[in-house]
Chains A and B, each alone.
Chain A
Amino acid sequence: AQTVTQSQPEMSVQEAETVTLSCTYDTSESDYYLFWYKQPPSRQMILVIRQEAYKQQNATENRFSVNFQKAAKSFSLKISDSQLGDAAMYFCAWAYGQNFVFGPGTRLSVLP
């Protein structure tokens, strides 16, 4: 069975600093997708970034970038120039077809 692990239940970062959230996964598939979702206190699940496993280039969305290491099955999220609005739960997810598996989440606090 596919599993997704986020080893950091909580993280904090100073405003304007950079933080990296870890994610590892286990799968026997070779062509899959990885996602980071953000869930602020409003509860809404918001897509942050998406990575296709067959692409070697790391995905980037403005201040958000990933470090995708396929052989190591690692998919970390880097947030640069952290802002107060980045405070949220962050979920890493693995997907293949209709199968979506979420990690347990990392709660990120941003300190002013």
Chain B
Amino acid sequence: DTAVSQTPKYLVTQMGNDKSIKCEQNLGHDTMYWYKQDSKKFLKIMFSYNNKELIINETVPNRFSPKSPDKAHLNLHINSLELGDSAVYFCASSQSRISGRAGETQYFGPGTRLLVL
């Protein structure tokens, strides 16, 4: 009964390939996020979805495309993988709605370590 789950935990692939990372939350939250944590442990938000609608889209290459089939899922698809995409990707969720309270706690998945060779 994991709150926020991600698959796979590890992903090793060749440059140029296309891959997806899946995220699911069973907390009933309205908002989901994708973060990238680089080798220096710096954590940066990539996307935020509220009720299947894109809210935050930070400056990331358009090779990265989030997809939210329903509010419990937010998948991350990456096209034409590059060496610099190697990182740990975290999914997170929070209860907040757009017009709701400020700064709801975010609950994180276990992370997906992506290694591009």
Chain A contact residues, CB within 8 Å of chain B: 29, 31-33, 35, 37, 39, 42-47, 50, 52, 89, 91, 94-102, 104-105, 107
Chain A residue with the shortest CB-CB distance to B56: A98
Rounded to whole angstroms, the CA-CA distance of A55 and B101 in the bound complex is 14
From A33, A50, A96, A102, give the contact of B43 (CB < 8 A).
A102
Question: Is the CB–CB distance between A98 and B55 below 8 Å?
Answer: yes
Interface of B is mostly: strand
Question: Is the CB–CB distance between A44 and B110 below 8 Å?
Answer: yes
Chain A positions within 8 Å of B111 at CB level: 43-45
Rounded to whole angstroms, the CA-CA distance of A35 and B42 in the bound complex is 16
From A29, A45, A100, A105, give the contact of B42 (CB < 8 A).
A105
Chain B contact residues, CB within 8 Å of chain A: 31, 33, 40-45, 48, 50, 55-56, 88, 90, 92, 94, 96, 98, 100, 102-108, 110-111, 113
Rounded to whole angstroms, the CA-CA distance of A59 and B78 in the bound complex is 40
Q: How far is the CB of B47 from chain A (nearest CB, A)?
A: 10
Question: Is the CB–CB distance between A100 and B88 below 8 Å?
Answer: no
Chain B positions within 8 Å of A50 at CB level: 105
12 residue pairs from A and B, CB less than 8 Å apart: A33-B104, A39-B41, A42-B110, A44-B110, A44-B111, A46-B108, A50-B105, A97-B96, A97-B103, A98-B96, A102-B42, A105-B41
Q: How far is the CB of B38 from chain A (nearest CB, A)?
A: 11
Chain A residue with the shortest CB-CB distance to B94: A98
Across the A-B interface, the 9 shortest Cβ-Cβ residue pairs: A33-B103, A95-B103, A45-B108, A102-B43, A43-B111, A98-B48, A96-B102, A105-B41, A98-B55
A44-B108, A100-B103 given. 19 additional CB < 8 A pairs?
Answer: A32-B102, A32-B103, A42-B110, A43-B111, A45-B111, A46-B108, A47-B107, A96-B102, A96-B103, A97-B100, A97-B103, A98-B33, A99-B45, A100-B33, A101-B45, A102-B44, A104-B40, A105-B41, A105-B42
